Amino acid sequence: MGIARAQDEESERREFEDFRKTLVALAATERSKENDDFKGLTSSHIADLDLQLDKLVCVTSGVSFLGLALVNRLLLRGYSVRILVDNQEDVEKLREMQVSGEMMMACNNKISVVIAKQTEIQGLMEAFDGCRGVFHTSAFVDPSGISGYSKSMAEIEVKASENVMKACARTSSVRNCVLTSSLLACIWRDSSQHDLPLLVNHDSWSNEALCMEKKLWFALGKLKAEKVAWKIAEEMSLKLTTICPGLITGPQFSHRNPTATIAYLKGAQEMYAKGLLATVDVIRLAEAHVAVFEAMNKTAFGRYICFDRIIARDEEAEKLASEIGIPPNRICGNSLEFIPTHFELSNKKLINLMSRTIRNWHGQS
């Protein structure tokens, strides 16, 4: 039985590797024929072809809580989605999601899967080939399932961000990239500074040394991953935007996204005391990703803070703790220990963009 199963697994692995290579080969063939295909076409035909090409995008970690919501949102907007996964197990997860109805069955012909390691730039380039946009959702989990999010995982996330950005910049078809960062990359600032602004918005950056001192590895990973992404984007002329969401919530979020949920809440008491503990529903976050991406050739630029609720009262904190399955004092206990400086979170930049984009969406329907 063990031998037979191993042979089956090896057969499936070869099958999906062949599938991946076929996708890459087809994309290369199409590009090589591009000039011949365009001969004799009218401007309207070329515009239609460009529109079809513009609708192919890639989502990294497409089996994650956010990744799945983003894939579904993109499908609803008419995109074809190439889902990048790390291994065969993720492919099986996708199959289960399709069967369970978590992924839109009606759009199966617009979904493709590519297996590629985020540690290998060449493999990422092959996965992105033919895509006009890439959404790097930066969804990582603890392989051992016990530490939440370790210091070593932060370094892995930073390296993955570096590789994805370099692969995007080196892939000629990729025009735009959207990186999922975190609100934690904005809020952990040195409160001992007398001139520290009370407003926390898209221009705010967390302090790397403070994150190290407090051992806020999730915040550190998101902060450094975003910084390296911006560095490479500037050096390699990659068009990039980043979205910095609060704690991602939604149906069964603590069960479906446990690593990021627990890791995000390290330091929750201090965040709550300072008015900086915010959440965002995963569907709204997915919509924000698509809205920002679609506005990148017009008005979208830089960073966007994304949240739809600030946890400001004890009953709200207790409800959140109950949803996660942790004691309330993990969030709202001992809040008087912290300096009573209350900050103001602002997502005005994203709200303004979303209001314009949603009006356009309704106008198209």
Number of CB atoms found within 10 A of residue 171's CB: 20
The verdict on whether 93 is a catalytic residue reads no
| Marked catalytic residue, from 21, 159, 222, 349 | 222
Phi and psi, residue 196, nearest 5°: -70, 120
| Closest CA relative to residue 317, chosen from 282, 275, 281, 272 | 272
SS (H, E, C) the chain: CHHHHHHHHHHHHHHHHHHHHHHHHHHHHHHHCHHHHHCCCCHHHHHHHHHHHHCEEEEECCCCHHHHHHHHHHHHCCCEEEEEECCHHHHHHHHHHHHHCCCCHHHHHHEEEEECCCCCHHHHHHHHCCCCEEEECCCCCCCCCCCCCCHHHHHHHHHHHHHHHHHHHHCCCCCEEEEECCCHHHHCCCCCCCCCCCEECCCCCCCHHHHHHCCCHHHHHHHHHHHHHHHHHHHHCCEEEEEEECEEECCCHHHHCHHHHHHHCCCHHHHHHCCCCEEEEHHHHHHHHHHHHHCCCCCCCEEEEECCEECCCHHHHHHHHHHHCCCCHHHHCCHHHCCCCCCEECCHHHHHHHHHHHHHHHHHC
Single out the residue of 93, 69, 85 nearest to residue 19, CA to CA.
Answer: 85
Distance CA 119, CA 66 (A): 21
Q: Would you state the structure tokens that stand for residue 20, as one six-digit string?
A: 């991946």
Where in the sequence numbering do the catalytic residues fall? 222
